[in-house]
Structure 1
């Protein structure tokens, strides 16, 4: 089973993503509500893939992405962003994110994207 870590400051978004993924054969091994907690959990849990919000308090998704990639250059990370964050998304891709998903998204779309990244 593919292990996922969900990093998002919105509890509702973490719950939504978790339900969508678990319904489709993923195991959500952890959740974090900010980048600092996300980096710690990544190091501890070593998931197969991460979904990460870009805009979060304390440590942004971009900063967390950089930290995780320094720890594990092979980390598979999918950034989740709201409309209008194109510059941050571009920066995240340049820093090593595999791809991004724009909120709101459909269940089939997130499942397809994660499966595609995991197959690489």
Structure 2
């Protein structure tokens, strides 16, 4: 079981991810609707894993990952994006993201990605 912070500007997407993760036996320790809130909650909650949308207000997901990785170089962050642009995914991975999921996601893909990062 992992303690997970879910970050997405879409309340519906947060709800979908939370359901998949909780049904998979994980604990949701918090959720953020923008990049600044994601960084603040990461600092407070110290989650095992963070899911991060790329396109968010105030601070995009890639910038949020950069800030989090400055403070915690081993933070495990999964980018969740509907944008199929390889360049943005590469930016996120270079910024320190551990992996990524494309929306719409398969429940099994979400859980296998989380399991891979726990090990």
Structure 2 equivalent of residue 72 of structure 1: 72
What is the correspondence of 1:12-91 to structure 2 with a 5 Å cutoff?
A: 12-91=12-91
Runs (4 or more) in structure 1 with deviation over 4 Å come to none
Within the alignment, does 1:109 sit opposite 2:109 as a pair?
yes
Deviation of 1:85 after TM superposition, in Å, equals 2.7
The number of aligned residues is 119
Ranges in structure 1 where 5+ consecutive residues have no aligned partner: none
Ranges in structure 2 where 5+ consecutive residues have no aligned partner: none
> In structure 1, how many angstroms separate the alpha carbons of the residues matched to 2:56 and 2:81?
11
> In structure 2, how many angstroms separate the alpha carbons of the residues matched to 1:23 and 1:15?
12
TM-score normalized by structure 1? 0.96
Deviation of 1:88 after TM superposition, in Å, equals 1.0
> In structure 1, how many angstroms separate the alpha carbons of the residues matched to 2:84 and 2:4?
26
Within the alignment, does 1:7 sit opposite 2:16 as a pair?
no
Q: CA RMSD, aligned part only?
A: 0.8
TM-score normalized by structure 2? 0.97
